Structure 1
Amino acid sequence: MDKPSLYNSNSVRLGEGRKWSLHLVWLGLIASGITWLVLHYFVLVQGEFGPEHSPYEALSIKAHGAFAFLALWFGGMMWGTHMLKAWSQKRRRWTGTILLLVFAALIVSGYLLYYAGDESIREKASLIHWVIGLAVVLVYLLHRISKKS
C-alpha cells in the first residue's frame, strides 16, 4: 500500500495544516512589526531619568525577528510546493513575481538592519523595511484575489 502524499503533486494549493501555519506566521510577523512601529514612534513611558521607550519595544522586535526566521523557512517550503508549480501552470505570475521581489527587499533590508554597522545605512534600511512591510499586506491580498496573471 502506498503512503499518502502530503500534497497533490499537480496542485498549487497547500494542505490545510501548512496553509494555517503559514497564515499564523504571517499574522505574527505583521502584528509584531506593527507593534514595534507603534511603540517605537508613538509610545514613551516615564523612566527614572525622564521619557524613554517602552520596555515592550525590545520584546516586539525580538518576536518580529523570530517570526522572520519562521517566514524564511516557510518561504523555502513555498518555493518548492507552490511557486514552481504555479509558474509552470502560468498562474498568477505577475502578482507572484511582485510578491517575491517585495519579500526579497524585506529580507535584504532586514539583513541590513541587523548587520549594517553604519547608522545612516540602518536608518535608510529601517524606513525601507517598514514602508515595504506595510505595503506587502496589500500586495499579498492582491495576489490572493487575482484570477490569473
Structure 2
Amino acid sequence: MSELVTQLSEALYTAFQSETFVLLSTVDEETGGPTSSAISWIYARDYSTLRFALDHRSRLVRNIMAHPRITVTVFGEETIYAINGKAEVVQDPLEGVPFKMCCFDLKIDAVRNALFYGAQLASAPTYAKVYDQRAAEMLDNQVFAAMKKA
C-alpha cells in the first residue's frame, strides 16, 4: 500500500499555475447521487489548497453548500489524479466579475493516482474555447484576478 499524499507535487502545483481544466465531482443536493462537471477557473493557492470559482447558476454551488466534500480530477503528465478534500466558501459573491459567482477553497486531504494499474496517458486532453476569443480572455482575466484578491 502506498503512502497517503496530502498535498500537491511540484509538477501538479506548477500545472495549476496556468489555465487548466478539471472534472469537479460533487454529491447532488437533490438526488444524493454523484455528479461531475468540467471547470477551468481553478488554480493552486499553495501546495495544500486549490481555489476555484463557479457561476451561481450552476448546480455545483448548491451541491457544495450541502455536501462540501468534493473531488477534483486532473489529467496530469502521463496519469490522472483525484484530489479529495473539503470545500469552503472564500467569497460569495465574488467581487469584480460581471455576474454572480462563488469562490471556494478546496483544502486537500488526499492526492491519488486515479489511472488504472499498468496504464499511462499518451497525451493529456486539450480543449478549445469556441466563443469570442477576446471576450473569453477578458472574462478569464477578470475571474482569476478576482479569485486572487478574495
Give TM-score, length-normalised by structure 2: 0.31
Of the two, which has the highest radius of gyration?
Answer: 1
Which protein has the bigger strand share? 2
More helix by share: 1
